[in-house]
A and B are shown apart, each in its own frame.
Chain A
Amino acid sequence: MLNYFARRILTMILTLLVVSALVFVIIQLPEGDYLTSYIAELESQGEAVDPQKIAYLKEEFGLDKPVWLQYLSWIGGVVQGDFGRSIEFDLPVTEVIGEVFVFSLILNFSIIVFIYIVAFPIGVYSATHQYSWGDHGLTFVGFIGLATPNFLLALILMFLARKYFGTSIGGLVDPSFENQPWTFDKILSLLEHLIVPVVVIGTSGTAGMIRRLRANLLDELHKQYVVTARAKGLPEGKLLLKYPLRMALNPFIADIGNLLPQVISGAVIVAVIMDLPTTGPVILDALTSQDMFLAGSFLLFVSLLTVVGMFISDLLLAVLDPRIRLEGTRK
């Protein structure tokens, strides 16, 4: 096992290093840098550009140094918890992310819980009642959920809310609570505002998960061991829970590797449309303005969550499914 852990962790570290370098280089690929865009913006507004200020900013953020030196200085800070300074906001990256990170975490965690809670019983029902009216109905709703882009659903709901209820459903808390300390009322407001984005963003994920769980469970239910167990008189509920359902749970667990990064970076377009104060729009802004330290830190964190998520899902799968082993049979 020590050998396995050492190899996996080394692979994870090397992967993250390569990803961090790639991210840094890709952000630098477009011509110019943040300051070039800043100068162009000032000039387009007819404002004078102070060369001394530009030179100062270049030196301050190390933009006058070669790319590899900028990268080394950034990655050296990252391992110590210093993610650098956002050029656009002129604040440390951790401060820029601050509250939006918490909102993002709450929203995306709620979405994941919503997906699991809704998809699990519906998927099981659809598989155990294949081709029934209920299955057809839920499949129809599932396909609509899969086929409808989230941002379109968000626009429709916002329109309906405005037209029929005269209310805006944008944002995650009431405007009066913005930039205020956390109170019970603010938490209530957050919970109230969470419902719509969770449903909007969670719909396609739920529909996808239902289809996968249904397909996997149906595969298992048609296997010979199920027929044998049924023939031997095992009660239907016990038979379902003890064997096929356990096997069909694999996609739920395997999805952790994909879901963890989404906790931070998911649903950017919906967040922009619904004016959600999450990390998505901040990443988008950072990428378009070439704020490399902010964008790089976000993307590195997403990569970290991906590799850690994969590792966790591999270990959980080994525990959950006796057929999958870290130590197994050579093929």
Chain B
Amino acid sequence: MITNHGYSLVNLRADYFRAFVGFNFCFAPYVLGAKAAGGVLILLGCAALFALYGLRTLCRQFARIELDEQKITMKIFKYRAIPWEKLTDLSLSYFTTWRSGGNGWMQLRLKGAGHTFRFESNLSDFEQVVLNSVRAAMQNKLELSSATLRNIDALNIRIPESGQPA
């Protein structure tokens, strides 16, 4: 069965907002006539980072991800695919900027066939993508890190002894 996934504008609006606010805050002094030196130079560096972040968010919005029994494909500007049997690495990480450890986001990284795909948890049906990826990782007998295993567990995906996730 083929399933399609993507990042909806609603899910990306916070990222766009951050990129917009960050870029404008950092770029404003230069636009308002400040010389590119000292603190303004550091702010320009931060503005470049936010511009990159905004560009990446834009790419995400246009990304189309397709899953089937044989492969996972991603199309942003060009079509790239990782056949499941060529999956060589999988990691599921959790990031947070909060000291309490809450309000974070997950990132799934898949490697194989010369490509690296990164998906974040605001992708539609993220759990489904993780489930299929973990299933492929089990079939390929990949060794997963303890953090990845615990994050898979946190998504309520159970990996039984047989290695087939439920």
| Interface size counted on chain B using CB atoms at 8 A | 39
A-B contact pairs, 27 of them (CB 8 A): A2-B49, A3-B53, A3-B105, A3-B120, A5-B49, A6-B49, A7-B18, A7-B97, A9-B22, A10-B21, A10-B50, A13-B25, A13-B46, A17-B25, A79-B39, A79-B40, A80-B29, A81-B39, A328-B95, A328-B101, A328-B147, A329-B94, A329-B150, A330-B104, A330-B106, A330-B150, A331-B101
Chain B interface helix/strand/loop/mixed: helix
Tell me the smallest distance from the CB of B135 to a CB of chain A, in Å: 20
Asked if B38 is at the interface (CB within 8 A of a chain A CB), the reply is yes
Find the residue from A2, A78, A329 having the highest chain B CB count within 10 A.
Answer: A329
Which residues on B sit within 8 Å (CB–CB) of A14? 21
Which one of B26, B50, B107 lies within 8 Å of A327 (CB-CB)?
Answer: B107
User: A7 vs B94: C-alpha distance in the bound complex, in angstroms?
Assistant: 14
Q: Which residues of B contact A (CB under 8 A)?
A: 15, 18-19, 21-22, 25-26, 29, 32, 34-35, 37-40, 43, 46, 49-50, 52-53, 56, 93-97, 101-102, 104-107, 120, 146-147, 150-151, 154
Which residues on A sit within 8 Å (CB–CB) of B15? 3
User: A4 vs B101: C-alpha distance in the bound complex, in angstroms?
Assistant: 13
Interface bracket on A: 20 to 34
Asked if A326 is at the interface (CB within 8 A of a chain B CB), the reply is yes
Which residues on A sit within 8 Å (CB–CB) of B35? 80
Asked if A65 is at the interface (CB within 8 A of a chain B CB), the reply is no
Which residues on A sit within 8 Å (CB–CB) of B93? 325, 327-328
Q: Are B39 and A4 in contact (CB under 8 A)?
A: no
Find the residue from B43, B52, B93, B106 having the highest chain A CB count within 10 A.
Answer: B93
Asked if A76 is at the interface (CB within 8 A of a chain B CB), the reply is yes
